[in-house]
């Protein structure tokens, strides 16, 4: 009887010890996933531009969420990285090219994204990107994004397409020209960690 009790007590102590030891091991990945992520720094919030121009038209716009930033991608299939010009800058208001019509954009700050590519076929004038003036970008849902608050289409005029991107505040951003697309990343904060 004493031997049976000793075995049970030993088993209980070992179970408690192993169970307690297992908790930190299981918690470690969760804690590691919440640890600070090193984010790129030095983007700044000043105007960024490249004067190149593409003849390929805009076909789509999409967004994505990342650890350190929210991303807007404007698809211009057929445009090489070096020939896709742009101007991205913070503005006080968004206006439609040609008419000057004011377009309200939600958020604490507005990034005006101009792509030197039409949203129509240059030879026929047929629309290649199904957006409507002053409306959110079609197929783009930014619900739950940390930085993006609103998107608005401001039109395509004389070979240039304009989009308003409402963001939480004036935050650092970068612009990348890649084959067939322009990428605008807006940081979640001014610090180099998330």
Measured in whole angstroms, the distance separating CA 170 from the mean position of its chain's CA atoms is 14
Give φ, ψ of 12 to 5 degrees.
-65, -45
**Confidence bin at 59 (pLDDT 50/70/90):** very high
Contact status, residue 62 vs residue 76, Cβ threshold 8 Å: no
* DSSP H or E stretch at residue 89: strand 86-91
Residue 19, pLDDT > 80, answer no
Q: What is the mean pLDDT of the chain?
A: 84
d(CA 102, CA 153): 12
What is the number of domains present in the chain?
2
d(CA 167, CA 165): 6
- Between 5-14, 74-83, 123-132, 185-194, the lowest mean confidence (pLDDT) is in 5-14
Residue 42, in any domain of the structure: no
- 60 and 117 assigned to the same domain: yes
3-class SS at 182? strand
- pLDDT at residue number 192: 66
Contact status, residue 74 vs residue 113, Cβ threshold 8 Å: yes
Residue 101, in any domain of the structure: yes
- 90 and 63 assigned to the same domain: yes
Residue 163, in any domain of the structure: yes
User: Percentage of the chain with pLDDT > 70?
Assistant: 80
- pLDDT at residue number 36: 67
**Confidence bin at 185 (pLDDT 50/70/90):** very high
Domain that holds residue 7: 1-35
pLDDT in tens, 89-103: 999 999 998 889 999
**Confidence bin at 83 (pLDDT 50/70/90):** confident
pLDDT in tens, 116-128: 999 999 889 999 9
Residue 41, in any domain of the structure: no
CA-wise closest residue to 95 among 50, 49, 140, 134: 134
């Amino acid at each position: 009887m004493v031997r049976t009790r000793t075995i049970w007590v030993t088993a209980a102590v070992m179970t408690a010890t192993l169970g307690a030891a297992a908790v930190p091991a299981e918690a470690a990945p969760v804690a590691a996933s919440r640890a600070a992520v090193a984010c790129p720094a030095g983007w700044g919030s000043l105007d960024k531009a490249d004067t190149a121009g593409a003849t390929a038209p805009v076909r789509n716009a999409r967004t994505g969420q990342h650890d350190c930033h929210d991303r807007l991608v404007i698809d211009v299939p057929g445009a090489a990285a070096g020939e896709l010009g742009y101007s991205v800058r913070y503005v006080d208001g968004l206006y439609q090219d040609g008419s000057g019509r004011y377009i309200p954009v939600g958020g604490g700050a507005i990034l005006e994204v101009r792509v030197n590519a039409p949203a129509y076929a240059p030879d026929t004038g047929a629309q290649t990107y199904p957006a409507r003036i002053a409306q959110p970008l079609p197929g783009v849902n930014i619900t739950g994004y940390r930085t993006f608050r609103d998107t608005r289409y401001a039109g395509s005029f004389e070979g240039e397409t304009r989009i308003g991107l409402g963001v939480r505040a004036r935050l650092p951003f970068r612009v990348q020209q890649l084959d067939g697309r322009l990428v605008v990343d807006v940081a979640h904060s001014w610090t180099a960690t998330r």
